[in-house]
Amino acid sequence: MHEGLVQADRPVDISLDRSAGLRIAIVGGGISGIAAAWYLKRAKLDNFLVFESSSEPGGTWHDNRYPGAEVDIACHLYSFSFNRYDWTQRFGSQAEVKRYLEKTIDEFGLRSRFRFGATVVSAAWSDEKKLYTVSFADGRTAEFEAVISCVGFLSVPVIPPGIDLAAYPGIACHTARWPDDISLAGKRVGVIGTGSSAVQIVPEAAKVAKSVTIFQRSPNWILPKKNRIFTARQRTRYQTSWQYRFKALKEFLRYEWARIGRPERLGSKINRRMRTAAEAYLRRSLAERPDLVEKLLPDHPLGAKRAVASGDFYAAVQQPHVAIAPAVARMDADGLIDEEGNRHELDVVVLATGFSAADYLSRLEVVGRNGADLHTVWSGEPAAFLGSCVPGFPNFFMLDGPNSNSGTLLFILECQARFAADCLAAMVRAGGATVEVRRSAFDGFNRRVQERLEKSVYKTTRNYYAAASGRIVTQWPFSATRFWWMTRATRRSSMKID
């Protein structure tokens, strides 16, 4: 992590009055923090605060401000079920998504609950007091009966070994730490990586930069992405609630439909068909450049790493001032040297090297019953029930937790937010002090998930889905409908209230 980029804490009011109800801390003010806040309000659990280390809300949509950043899930599906928005295009830009999140916070009166510049470092359960003591980076503490972690899993940037950002003589930054004052115009730009972030930034950089060099360790599958600017008529139509919902449903069914035949299963017919289509797209797009076909044709099965959606990357790489170079061997005070020993003179180097996704909650210490530390319990293999809760950690919930990542991201997040709020509301109604997942439910759930993942394409190559041991810890291998059903139907049998 680039140390200088950590936000300094500011003294903000961090405690709540117990007489106003169950005190709940939401850690993280991004899309999942907003969902958690809304569902708590809906469940009449109104005594909560949202702690956000940054100075603004939005989480990943605040951090990832690099040129070309946009959502690659259709906006009507990438919307909260409780708040519509006048999207200008099918795939909104980072700025548009951020505006939507800000508007949601304001429309639902949530801003007063946000505590910006408040970095939570730990939450420790007391069995005696039946609450968590939450500690902040500035040394202060506050007590809460429940904690909901909304820190996301794509938030801690990967800085590869051999790369010393601070020592590099030019400008160097990670895509998720984009300096607001940086301009790529007329510059010699290097982009390290070929994932979703790199594929978005390269075409934008190529429009203005003197040169763009992509440092590729391995190529990724790219699927065509057809953005569409909505006409005034379409936008008016989507103002109507049912039309908006119908559009979102259509996009949702597109994902659910694509899951039929299990595209993630190694060797499945649908996986092979999708690979054939992606390869045809690559060969068609690069018909004039057989040299690039060779360089950009992946050797892993489609979906083994998250496939990238782009309509302009292949066009961008064919421009004369765009080049593909081998991976970076080292980058320090001496400059940037690739793995073939070539030195590259660059004014700006962008690390599109992704996030340590499998290392869940890496910046948050969570201590449960009997002093058990969550990271010790996980021993490098994060697991949870519905990506939400872990036995031995009462009143603690996660959104976007282990094995809940899926294409219908926001839908899953909302299922988890509603699940957490419902569990806590049931506990209050029952007059209990704790709600916790049963060990049997947790074990059964994770056995089924891992069995399903055993023969998946995810196990065939290096990706951010796997823990160091090789266990796939990020992906949800079933349909989103099944996730929804489980969050609704299993609460009584899987959670115990004391």
- What is the binding site for ligand NAP (CB under 6 A)? 70-72, 154, 158, 160, 175, 192-198, 200, 217-218, 305-306, 327-328, 352-355, 462, 464
CB of 302 to ligand NAP, least distance (A): 14
Largest CA distance in the chain: 71
Cα torsion angle, 181, 187, 189, 195, sign? positive
In whole angstroms, how far apart are CA 430 and each of 146, 350, 362?
16, 53, 34
CB of 391 to ligand NAP, least distance (A): 29
d(CA 457, CA 450): 13
> Which residue, 47 or 196, has its beta carbon nearer to ligand NAP?
196
CB of 407 to ligand NAP, least distance (A): 9
> Which residue, 198 or 366, has its beta carbon nearer to ligand NAP?
198
Token pair for 126: 């007391």
> Which residue, 80 or 396, has its beta carbon nearer to ligand NAP?
80
> Which residue, 28 or 368, has its beta carbon nearer to ligand NAP?
28
d(CA 471, CA 151): 22
CB of 176 to ligand NAP, least distance (A): 7
Which among 92, 411, 77, 400 has a CA at the least distance from the CA of 254?
Answer: 77
> Which residue, 413 or 437, has its beta carbon nearer to ligand NAP?
413
> Which residue, 29 or 298, has its beta carbon nearer to ligand NAP?
298
> Which residue, 52 or 338, has its beta carbon nearer to ligand NAP?
338
> Which residue, 136 or 355, has its beta carbon nearer to ligand NAP?
355
Q: What is the amino acid identity at position 271? A: N
d(CA 397, CA 420): 6
Q: How far is CA 324 from the centre of its chain?
A: 27
> Which residue, 100 or 445, has its beta carbon nearer to ligand NAP?
100
Rg (CA), the chain: 23
CB of 66 to ligand NAP, least distance (A): 9
Which among 158, 152, 178 has a CA at the least distance from the CA of 69?
Answer: 178
CB of 134 to ligand NAP, least distance (A): 28
CB of 325 to ligand NAP, least distance (A): 11
d(CA 41, CA 18): 16
CB of 2 to ligand NAP, least distance (A): 15
Sequence-distant contacts of 264-272: CB under 8 A, at least 24 apart: 264/303, 264/456, 264/457, 264/458, 264/475, 264/477, 265/455, 265/456, 265/457, 266/301, 266/455, 266/456, 266/457, 266/459, 266/460, 271/301, 271/302, 271/303, 271/457
CB of 196 to ligand NAP, least distance (A): 4
Q: Which residues contact 485 (CB under 8 A, 6 or more apart)?
A: none
Burial class of 338 by CB neighbour count within 10 A (0 to 12, 13 to 18, 19+): buried
